[in-house]
Amino acid sequence: MTVINNVNDLRTELGAVFTQLKEGDIKAKDAKELANLAGKMINSAKVELDYHAMRKDEKAKISFLEVAS
């Protein structure tokens, strides 16, 4: 099981799912569900961003979006 710690991990995992789908190693239904869950993770981060923007909290950090270079 792959742990998704940040947005880069999510992109990597979605890329792997795409490859598995193309190669026939995963069913389209399963790939769709994984993409749906990824969308929910992204929307959750967006809600957090919107919340901090409304509060004008410029120093807020969202660990899911914090990626070391």
Q: Please report the sign of the dihedral spanned by the C-alpha atoms of residue 39, residue 42, residue 64, residue 48.
A: negative
Q: What is the pLDDT of residues 7-52, one digit of tens each?
A: 999 999 999 999 999 999 999 999 999 999 999 999 999 999 899 8
* Nearest Cα to Cα of residue 42 among 3, 1, 4: 4
Q: Higher confidence at residue 67 or residue 18?
A: 18
Say if pTM beats, i.e. exceeds, 0.75: yes
Q: Is residue 46 part of a domain?
A: yes
Q: Is residue 50 part of a domain?
A: yes
CA distance 12 to 69: 15
Q: Is residue 17 part of a domain?
A: no
Q: Are 65 and 43 spatial neighbours (Cβ–Cβ below 8 Å)?
A: no
Can you give the residue range of the structural domain that contains 43? 26-58
Q: What pLDDT is recorded for position 21?
A: 97
Q: How many domains, in total, are found in the chain?
A: 1
Residue 61: which pLDDT band, with cuts at 50, 70 and 90?
Answer: confident
